[in-house]
Structure 1
Amino acid sequence: MQRSKQVSESIELGILLTLAGGFMDAYSFVCRGGVFANVQTGNILLFGLHLSAGEFSQAFEFFLPILMFSIGIALVALIRYPLRNFQKIHWRQIAILFEALILLLVAFIPQSNNLLANNLISFACGVQAESFRKIDGTPVATIMCTGNLRSAAQLICDSVYTKERSMMKRGLMFYFMIAIFTLGAVLGNLCVGLWRESAILAGAALLAAAFVLLLVRHDAE
């Protein structure tokens, strides 16, 4: 598989973003009241369960992250075109720096305001989901695993019949990113055990490293 010339699609950046994705999901679930920052399918399920039980206030707590995730996606979709020709800084650099600053803010939000913390993290995840969607030209999610798992199994099975090694490599790449996401979740859980609310600073550090990578190896898009 040919390596992408765009740093925004590089495996190095994908690793940092996927580590951050797993970290944020573990942090929000373990430290912020059992809400998923990234996996909106889980939040939609829990929203429906509480709604059917007439627990409207609890349902609202799971609905808001879904909304904020969508707003994060919409924001990037709206601003990336006006900023495409901005010379001093790439729009993806702005997006990832903004995401890191949001996580920095979350570190100082107390447990009494977990709803705000979760909404901010979900918003940041929406920004990441829309800004970084490919690795080496292949659509890959850095904040969730379900689609990656399907793609991995399909590509590897297809490679058995087609004998195309590129399909096998792409399939293995998906499994590799799933392993990286899992590692991010492990790190997130360990950091929460050590630092509680402040653990999200480690997630912000991962995004800061990704920002530096984008800054040094500028994307000439």
Structure 2
Amino acid sequence: MDLDAASRTPIVAMLLTLSGGFLDAFTYVGHGHVFANTMTGNVALLGVNVATADWAQAVRHIPPLIAFVFAVFVVHVLRLDALARSVQRPAMVCLLLEIVFLAVVASGMIRIPELWLISGISFVATLQTLSFTHLENLTYTSVMTTGNLRRGAKRLLEGLIPHYDGAALRDAMLLGMASFSFFAGAVIGGFSTGSLHDHALWIAVLLLVGAFGRIVQLARHASVSA
């Protein structure tokens, strides 16, 4: 099992989606009702704020959208042949970058202005979701849940109608687990941010370190067994 195969396991997906839900709740509760990951929510809230002429709040939703687009650009560049040979294991590099950034914020060693904090979280979270795209043989997202719910519901119906399909039901279970993990992460993020504020990010750091460690552990175990 290589690192890519190890990153597709259910436990890794669960840890990543827990952190995804956590980060959305963290920025929404603790930093001005702005989503870190859910760009659909940011666009919708931006539209509402523009409609109500709440310009100060509307502006807050723009930086994470810019950070999202920039992260897409960075991942695209990392996958180009010219860089692919020099940047080994870009997915793990992106995950490590996310861990370091969140740890710096959680520690309070460097005071980051809120504008840059939210944009930074959006950037590293987007790197995460673009780098880890598969749960076993399924495509999924670790920082949003709409697509997971849609695909999970579709596979559930395919597993029951017109006849029983065990493989489809297993897919539905996996995608349901990812969706619930996002929800659970949001609950944890909502509770912890209210009491710990930025220090609550240590929880997200632990989740991501757990995912990183699990990927490495599975890959090493597979190489030793081989």
Question: Corresponding residue for 1:180?
Answer: 181
Contact 2:21–2:186 (8 Å) recurs in 1 = yes
Corresponding position: 1:171 with 2:172: yes
TM-score (norm 2): 0.86
Deviations 1:119-171, CA, capped at 9 Å, x for gaps: 11111111011101110020011111111111111111122224321111111
One-letter identity of the residue aligned with 2:25: A
Report the secondary structure of 1:217's partner residue: helix
* Paired letter, 1:61: R
- Deviation, structure 1 residue 194: 3.1
Which segment drifts farther, 161-170 or 78-87?
78-87
Question: Which of 39-48 and 206-215 deviates more?
Answer: 206-215
CA distance in 2, matches of 1:212, 1:159: 34
| Higher alpha-carbon deviation: 156-165 or 167-176 | 156-165
TM-score (norm 1): 0.87
Amino acid of the structure 1 residue aligned with 2:149: L
Partner SS, residue 35 of structure 2: coil
- The one-letter code matched in structure 2 to 1:212 is G
Per-residue deviation, 1:85:
4.4
Which residue of structure 1 aligns with residue 92 of structure 2?
A: 93
Distance 1:183 1:207, change over 3 A: same
RMSD: 2.4
Separation in structure 2 between the aligned mates of residue 207 and residue 85 of structure 1, nearest angstrom: 26
State the partner residue of 1:25. 24
Aligned partners of 1:127 and 1:92: how far apart in 2? 8
Q: How does 1:10-159 map to 2 (within 5 A)?
A: 10-82=9-81, 84-85=84-85, 90-107=89-106, 108=108, 113-159=113-159
Partner of 2:8: 9
- Report the 3-state secondary structure (helix = DSSP H, G, I; strand = E; otherwise coil) of the residue aligned with 1:6: helix
State the alpha-carbon separation in 2 of the partners of residues 5 and 145 from structure 1: 22
Gaps spanning 5+ residues in structure 2: where? none
Aligned residue pairs total: 215
- Counterparts of 2:101 and 2:136 in 1: how far apart (Å)? 28
1:33 CA displacement: 1.1
Distance 1:122 1:85 in 2: 27
Offset, 1:190: 2.4
Q: Deviations over 1:77-124 (max 9, x none)?
A: 21134554459x5221111000111212332366x9322211111111
Q: Secondary structure at the match of 1:34?
A: coil
**18-27 or 207-216, which deviates more:** 207-216
Structure 1 gaps, min length 5:
none
Deviations 1:49-101 (A, max 9, x none): 222344444322101111101211221221134554459x5221111000111
Task: Tell me the residue number matched to 1:198.
Answer: 199
Write the distance in 2 (CA, Å) between the matches of 1:217 and 1:172: 22
